Structure 1
Amino acid sequence: MGRIVSLSSRVRWVLVAMGLVVAVPAVIGVQQIASGGHSGASPSAAHGFTVDVGTDSCGGGWPASPGTAVEAGRQTFHVHNTSVAGVEVQLVEPSSGAVFLDVEGLGSGAAQTYEVRLPRGDYAFRCLPADSDAVTGNVVHVTGATHVPDATPGVVPVTRNDLTPAAKSYGTWIEGRLPVLLDDVRALAADAHAGDLGAARHDWLVGHVEYEQLGAAYGAFGDADTAIDGMPASGRTALDDPDLQGFHRIEALLWSGAPADQVASAADDLVGSVQRLQQTFPTARVDPLEIGLRAHEILENALRFEATGASDAGSHSELATIDANVAGTEQALDAVRGLLRSRYPELAATDRAVATLRTDVEAQRHPDGTWTDLDALDRTDRERVDADLDDAVELLAPIAAICDPRRTS
């Protein structure tokens, strides 16, 4: 794929899909409605609470005075760090550990205003200084309605330890697919050396589809990802970029009428790159922090690159690639499914959306293994695939936020 975006920027982006407005500090489940330094009561404090947080005490000011009732519904918090050090601030439900507000990196003296919508229940502010233990404030009982329109979702934190088994399991699956990928590219090279470019085009597609299923591991592949499936440099095409290697370089050669010896040379390079990946991957590891992110990012990238035709270098096989990306998404999703069952109410809807996308894409696969060109889809089919992709990406996005590890102590 050769187009991985940094983890921090991707996590900030995907929070939007849970109804979250993303800022720095980053927020889970809330809307940031103002910002600025602290100078007494904030403009929003007349309709909410100025909450003092810090390294020694946490949550002062909510409620405004001891014994004051707090009604379910909208709560506006002007969160002010009164200490001399930065602090992470969470609003939690003590009984379940669910986090309803997560403000990261609130600097000394800084203040931000946030809005949450809470049903009846018990809540407390928890402060997590960078170099010391958590400080939890008084438990506040919110009275009133048990069901609040547009209630802020609470997320039970996931830890790195929770994600480690998922990453190991997924890495084992990847390791088992690499010999298959190597056989595929060796067949491609053999066909090119034999001068059978028709067979080489078939084997190119088989190998490229195999690789595109491995999307959640690209971060662990390092430079090998660029060597195997890199994209041309800005302003260049896959055919005229002298530094481009891998599947897209071979694609450009195969579908432009280049001579067999050029295809064979590029295919030999690809075989070498896959061999090196197979040798080095067992000593690498899939980062547990990336599993949930990649479960969303694979199809987000398909929407950006494949559905627009931006990645095509002549084969017009975007739908085959999207189908492979769906398979890769399902593998990444299965790795974290156990964590999501109790944390993500839309998991079943997500599975349905991904399955619908696969069905509608695979309707364009022909009995001989070829695929309809993306540009040849009629308007109805094209709109259906685009809508399916949008739905799946939207539903997958919260998984990245849910699986973003958080401190609890």
Structure 2
Amino acid sequence: MSARARLTAILAVVGALVVVATVLAIALRPAATGAAAPTAFEVSAGMDDCGRGWGGDGHAAKVPGGEQTLTVTNTTVAGIEVYLQEVDSKRVYLDLENLGAGAHATVRVALAAGRYRVVCLPADMDPVRGPTVTVGTAPPGSPLTPGIVPVTRNDLIPVTKVYSDWVGSRIPVLRAQAAAVAADAEEGDLPAARRDWLTAHSTYQTLGGAYDAFGEVGEQLDGLPHGDPTGFHLVEAQLWQGAPASAVAASAQSLVALVDRLQTQFAEAQLDPGEVALRAHEIVEDAIQRTLTGADDAGSHTSLATVDAELSGAEAALAPLHDILASRYDRLAETQQALADAHRAVEAQRGADGTWTPLDAVARPTRERIDAALDRAVELLAPVAAICDPRREP
């Protein structure tokens, strides 16, 4: 699945309304009760007629503020992307992607007073900017479409490098922790091996933002523990289901070998800047769908420790995006707080001796609080993926 397809799926699941994320984000949104009917325009999107039909032609084009319906037609012989941009702030209020030759898209957008223009972006060609249109004052109380300054791939390259360097710095730590499990088992100290296994597994779970770069090795390290488990889950099953120390030691050595392969592979990998902003949301979503259901428990009953580590992984994936998001996402602080709140709800289930409450032993009201905390975090993270979805400079 492509990054764009995953992004669309994210927004569909959580119901986020982010106009710039997808053609359908604001399409056919009903007008507010009592609001005036939106003004309708037939708008061209082509090389010579970009923006024609919106507010009339010429430099004095004006339209009323508030909701407007735009039926945009691609008049070229190839696909095109179309923005609706506020001239002075450079914010984009509508992004129609992959509008095919001759195709139409009808969308609604609600604009505040200002100067706007349609921008047509044919593939492999410079943007074509339509005439400036003056938008009047919106009716009082009108719900307005949010706009953002586009994030480009170039904006995301340094973010990706920061995150990639951090992941690279953690893999040697993971390797040492996995080696400690093998050493414990070779000495016959299985209680120590269980403690060290949890430490190593938690470290691995913090690296979820790089899972695409881990590829097949990642699946072997931490795939679901069904059928013939490998990696962490094979060692987990043996440690908590009474296997002899010699068997645990052999499997732990195989785990170390997998981490060695991961280190070699990741040193040559390049994370995709176009996908880095998806990860924080995906990590928490995975915690909800896989870990909190017990689907990845091979006998240790430490799912809440895994969730705790996954939340740390989401924070690590979100952190390098701070400077990009600070001026674009007005709920960034709320999102960070939601992750912290989820941490607190989960960590309350860790005992003073470091052991974790098994999922099936968590009281129902407590479980509901944990579920609600993660649901809130995943909802607030969805717009991050939409805002940071890389776009062309208009």
TM-score by length of 2: 0.92
Please show how residues 4-403 of structure 1 align to structure 2 within 5 Å: 6-16=2-12, 17-20=15-18, 26-27=22-23, 30-33=25-28, 47-64=39-56, 69-145=62-138, 149-232=142-225, 237=226, 241-242=227-228, 244-403=229-388
CA distance in 2, matches of 1:364, 1:214: 22
Deviates more, 1:331-340 or 1:66-75: 66-75
Partner of 2:33: none
Structure 2: how far apart are the matches of 1:22 and 1:344? 13
> Which amino acid in the other structure matches residue 296 of structure 1?
H
Q: Which blocks of at least 5 consecutive residues in structure 2 are unaligned? A: 30-36
Whole-angstrom distance in 1 between the partners of 2:2 and 2:236: 27
- Is the contact made by 1:227 and 1:270 (CA closer than 8 Å) also made in structure 2? no
Contact map agreement 2:19 2:145 (CA 8 A) in 1: no
Residue 207 of structure 1: how far off its partner (Å): 0.6
**Partners of 2:161 and 2:76 in 1: CA distance:** 40
Give the Cα–Cα distance (whole angstroms) in 1 for the partners of residues 143 and 199 of structure 2: 46
Equivalent residue of 1:273, what SS? helix
Secondary structure of the residue that 1:257 maps to in structure 2?
Answer: coil
The question of whether the paired residues in 2 share the 8 Å contact of 1:188 and 1:204 is answered with: yes
Residues 14 and 401 of structure 1 are in contact (CA less than 8 Å); yes or no, is this contact kept in structure 2?
no
* Partners of 2:190 and 2:313 in 1: CA distance: 28
Distance 1:111 1:290, change over 3 A: same
Q: TM-score, normalised by structure 1?
A: 0.88
Read off the aligned partner of 1:102 and give its amino acid letter.
D
Letter matched to residue 10 of structure 1: R
Q: How well do the aligned residues superpose, as a CA RMSD in angstroms?
A: 2.2
- Shift in Å at residue 192 of structure 1? 2.0
> Could you tell me whether the CA contact under 8 Å between 1:160 and 1:288 is conserved in 2?
yes
Alpha-carbon distance in 2 for matches of 1:148, 1:110: 34
Q: Which runs of 5+ in 1 are unaligned?
A: 35-44
AA of the residue aligned to 1:114: V
Alpha-carbon separation, structure 2, partners of 1:143 and 1:14: 34
Q: Which digits, 9 at most, give the CA deviation of each residue in 1:317-370, with x for residues without a partner?
A: 111111111111111111110100001010011011111111111111111111
Cα 1:68–1:127 shift into 2, 3 Å: closer
Q: Which amino acid aligns with 1:320?
A: A
SS of the aligned residue for 2:246 comes to helix
Post-superposition offset of 1:47? 4.9
User: How far, CA to CA, are the matches of 2:39 and 2:272 in structure 1?
Assistant: 43
Report the Cα offset of residue 209 of structure 1: 0.3
Distance 2:387 2:61 in 1: 33
Q: Is the 8 A contact 2:20 2:95 kept in 1?
A: no
Q: State the partner residue of 1:39.
A: none
Identity percentage of aligned residues: 51
Question: Shift in Å at residue 129 of structure 1?
Answer: 0.5
Match of 2:34 in 1: none
Q: Deviations over 1:248-291 (max 9, x none)?
A: 22222222222333322221111001112223322222222222
- Aligned 8 A contact 1:119 1:148 in 2: no
How many residues are aligned here?
Answer: 384
* Equivalent pair of 1:125/1:136 in contact (CA under 8 Å): yes
